[in-house]
Amino acid sequence: MQLIPAIDLQDGRCVRLFQGDFARQTVYSDMPQQVAKQFERMGLKSLHVVDLDGAKLGIQHNQASVRKIADATGLAIQLGGGIRDADTFRQWLEFGVKRCVIGSLAVTAPDTVRSWFAEFGPARIVLALDVRVEADGMPMLATHGWTRTANTSLWECIESYLGVGLCHVLCTDISRDGALSGPNAQLYRDLMTRYPALQLQASGGVRHVADLQTLSDAGVHAAITGRALLDGRISSEEIRSFLPAA
């Protein structure tokens, strides 16, 4: 399993939100490229970036910061946040992003997103599917910054994209995100049982290296963590077994 560190950008700064709440944020650095370089020095090869301004406003304000990260490191960057048209998608690729992460639009405008699979290729697209797990165990999709619950399950959404070559899925149990409460391993085991060919990225709740091992045992392809790394809860020594060369 690969470990992918996460950086959230707002006004050019590296921040973290608690369960997506803009009013509950921690600022980690005014120089995100330095944070990215630190991850690279740990031996990590990829980076997950969220443009919070883009996600909130639909306007990309952090291009300069992303370009600095791309220029300062050799990390493979995947970026999400407010990508709502093909021109924005294309622009991020030109700025050095390897994959674009598509969230709510995958649910609200599926025909548009399917056309991007044809235009840019499945390898360039990650579907970010955020879920609330209902009392009956059904994972239902949440959209619009987690403010709305769609009438679509995680399973229905994935099924609708298999025909266009879907391979990368980033799944977050939003009750776990930023809360350091542990990942929802059962959700990811169910996902991998249903769709073993998916390149699944698990996100939300990672506290320490034992959680990474739990996710690895669940069969996920990659685990994304921001706060646990930024807070030093996972050391360089501990992540060695999750480095690509390990």
Distance, CA of 79 to CA of 66 (rounded, Å):
9
What's the confidence (pLDDT) of residue 128? 95
Instruction: Give the pLDDT score at 180.
Output: 60
DSSP characters for 74-134? --EEEEESS--SHHHHHHHHHTT-SEEEE-THHHH-HHHHHHHHHHH-GGGEEEEEEEEE-
| Cα(164)–Cα(162) distance, integer angstroms | 6
- pLDDT, residue 175, reads 76
CA 6 to centroid of chain Cα atoms: 7
Which structure tokens are listed for 142?
Answer: 């949440």
Residues forming the active site: 8, 130
**Series of mean pLDDT values for 10-residue runs along the chain (246 residues):** 91 67 64 92 94 71 88 96 92 93 93 97 97 88 68 94 98 73 90 96 90 94 89 88 72
Q: How far apart are CA 119 and CA 2, in angstroms?
A: 27
d(CA 173, CA 182): 10
Spell out the domains of the chain, with CATH numbers in brackets. Answer: 2-242 (3.20.20.70)
Q: Is the distance from CB of 53 to CB of 83 less than 8 angstroms? A: no
141 contact partners, CB below 8 Å, separation of at least 6: 107, 129, 130, 131, 149, 150, 152, 153, 154, 157
CA distance 56 to 77: 21
What is the reported pLDDT for 82?
82
